[in-house]
Every structure is written in C-alpha cells, then in structure tokens.
C-alpha cells in the first residue's frame, strides 16, 4: 500500500463525525473531492456532493460520513456523565472503554464505568449491563466542575486509532463507513474527466440514525442509477456460522443482493448483473451478500421519487459498530476497481 493512500485512509478513519456532527470529516471529503470533481457543494443537510462529467445520464455514488458514538445526556451532582447511544452499538462493548467528549473548549477524556462486579449480587452479575446503567468518569469533583469542561449534548467518540495487524489487515475506529468514503474519493479520482455522464459522489450524513442524508441528496440529484458504498459483516471469526455470514476478509468486495431480509435494498437486476459481469470480465474477486439485518444508503436511494435502480458494494469488516473494526486493504482496492470499471463500461452493459 502506497504511503499517500495509507495517509488518506488513516486521516478519514481518525476524523471525528458521529451522526449530526460530521464537520471534521466533511471538510476532508470536500477538500479531496475538489481535486477530482468539476464542482463540489455542501447542501443544507450537510451532505458533500461532488459532480464530474457531462451528459444526460446521472449516476449517484454514496458513502456515509457519520460514525456511531454516544452523546452526553445528563451530568450528576457527583460529576459523572450519563449518555445515550447515537447509532447501533452493543452495550457489552462499552464498559471500561476510553472515550473522548468533544466540547467547544476542547477534548475531554473519560472512562465508561459501572458498579464493580465485586459489589454486584448474583442476578446482577448474570445479566448484560445496559448503557443507561453505565456512566462516564471524567475525573470531575462535582457537577459544577464537570460543567466547566463539558455540556449536555456534547458528542462522544471512541479514541482515534489506526494500525496494522498484518501485511493486508488493518484496524481502526469508524471503518463503517470511512472505508466507503475512501473508496468513493478514489473512484471519483479515477473516472475520466471527459466521461459522457454526470457522476455524483456524495458523502452523506446521518446514515447511522435513519439514512437521512441519502434521502435528501438523492431527491436533490434525482439520479437515473445509484450505488451505495459501505461495509458489511465478515463471517470469518469464531462463533459466526457460515450460514449466518460466509463473507471473508481478502476474498473481494461484497455485491449485495438484499438487505434486512428485503426490508432494505433489493438490488436491481440490471445493477447486480452489471457488477457481476464486470467482476468476471476483469477478474476482480467478489462475494455475494444477503443480509438479514442492517441497511445502507441504498435502501433510501432506490425509493426516491419514482424509484432509482440501485446497488450496493460493501467491504467485509470484522467488529463494525464497535470501538475498532478490522478490514483487508485488498478488498478496498478491489472495490475501487469494480466500481470504476462498472461506471466506465456502464452504457455498454446496461440498456438505457
């Protein structure tokens, strides 16, 4: 992996941006899109929209900028912080974790705690501790001292971490969906400037709390076709049956067939056939994904206006929606190749 690529993907993953607070990641996306697009705007909802090429046909690529996290709900008299979850996070992953509370005055570090197991009764030990039974310790003397540092409504994030487990395996916070953001930027960079279509690259907001940014940006653009770029659940770890997920790191990006047992996107046959045909033609490894739970921006894009034929290309990741996720960089690079080839060869393979 080249140094500049490593630097960009690390920068994206480390950027702050829980749902509704995407300012830092948005600025990075805007700056990068300006390098490759004809024009770039930020809409009233905070989505970053880059456009490239000219023509009657419009294709929208979407990757969400937001990450899951927490938010300050209440500060106790003793100076401890109660919080709510922003996005889907397993409560079992939170206890004992270091967090960063983002305040206008600066970052405040804290540790998520709860009642010590040594003091818990038998029935308490046997149950999962819920997030509303936890608190964040920021070292404050009392409520007055805590309020000098933080405020109700402050976003709370996991620490900025990024590194390598092996040659091709990387770990980071916010892999969902900063990996998709990276793919989006590289695809927009590699698409020829003289392409006879309008290609829109969109960094969407608030995907983790209702696919909201994709809804308004797709309505604005009104594309003929859409692609969502996201992460998906890898099944190559202990305790996951192959019948639950057969996706493996390093075996290629996943082409979604359906999400959330059909409640999410059901990939349009035109798009599915295009992606699989291109993958086979150019010998790009790929996997097929059928999800029982979870949705992407594709679920909203394809319901916009009169309906937009939409597909999803995802990178299998381990431990998404947790403080650290793991992915294979080969899958990322192959997702870029697949989408670039699919767009360049779009008109030759889909009857418009």
Name the residue with tokens 């310790």: 137
CA 281 vs. chain centroid, Å, equals 29
Cβ 352 vs Cβ 280: under 8 Å: no
Helix (H, G, I), strand (E, B) or coil at 41: strand
Model confidence at 9: pLDDT above 80: yes
**Domains defined along the chain, listed by start:** 3-67+173-349 (3.40.630.10), 69-157 (2.40.30.40)
pLDDT at 126: 62
Name the residue with tokens 């490759």: 36
Cβ 116 vs Cβ 68: under 8 Å: no
Give the active site residue among 22, 32, 67, 207.
207
Distance CA 48, CA 60 (A): 12
Give 352's pLDDT tier (boundaries 50, 70, 90): low
Say what the pTM is. 0.93
Q: In the β-sheet with 58-64, what is the strand arrangement from edge to edge?
A: 39-42, 48-52, 198-204, 58-64, 225-233, 310-317, 254-258, 287-290
Tens of pLDDT, residues 283-297 = 999 999 888 878 899
Distance CA 103, CA 153 (A): 9
Known active-site residue 207: yes
pLDDT at 262: 85
The closest of 264, 230, 208 to 87, measured between CA atoms, is: 208
């Amino acid at each position: 992996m080249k140094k500049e690529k490593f630097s960009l993907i690390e920068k994206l993953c480390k950027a702050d941006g829980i749902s509704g607070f995407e300012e830092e990641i948005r600025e990075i996306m805007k700056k990068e899109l300006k390098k490759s697009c004809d024009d770039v705007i930020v809409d009233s909802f905070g989505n970053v929209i880059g456009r490239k090429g000219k023509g009657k046909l419009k294709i929208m690529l979407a990757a969400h900028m937001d990450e899951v996290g927490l938010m300050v709900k209440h500060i106790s008299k003793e100076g401890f912080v109660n919080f709510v979850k922003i996005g889907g996070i397993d409560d079992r992953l939170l206890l004992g974790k270091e967090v960063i509370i983002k305040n206008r005055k600066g970052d405040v570090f804290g540790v998520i705690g709860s009642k010590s197991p040594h003091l818990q009764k038998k029935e308490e030990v046997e149950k999962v501790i819920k997030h509303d039974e936890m608190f964040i310790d920021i070292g404050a003397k009392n409520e007055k001292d805590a309020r000098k540092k933080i405020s109700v409504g402050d976003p709370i994030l996991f620490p900025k971490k990024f590194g390598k487990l092996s040659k091709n395996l990387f770990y980071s916070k916010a892999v969902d969906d900063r990996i998709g953001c990276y793919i989006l930027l590289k695809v927009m960079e590699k698409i020829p400037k003289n392409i006879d279509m309008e290609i829109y690259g969109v960094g969407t907001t608030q995907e983790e709390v209702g696919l909201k940014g994709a809804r308004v940006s797709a309505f604005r653009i009104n594309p003929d076709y859409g692609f969502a770029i996201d992460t998906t659940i890898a099944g190559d770890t202990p305790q996951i049956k192959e019948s639950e997920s057969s996706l493996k790191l390093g075996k290629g990006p996943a082409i979604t067939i359906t999400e959330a047992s059909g409640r999410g996107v059901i990939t349009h046959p035109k798009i599915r056939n295009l992606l699989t045909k291109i993958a086979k033609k150019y010998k790009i490894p790929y996997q097929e994904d059928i999800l029982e739970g979870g949705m992407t921006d594709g679920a909203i894009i394809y319901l916009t206006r009169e309906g937009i034929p939409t597909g999803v290309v995802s990178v299998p990741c381990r431990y998404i929606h947790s403080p650290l996720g793991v992915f294979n960089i080969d899958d990322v690079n192959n997702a870029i190749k697949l989408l670039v080839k699919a767009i360049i060869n779009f008109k030759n393979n889909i009857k418009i």
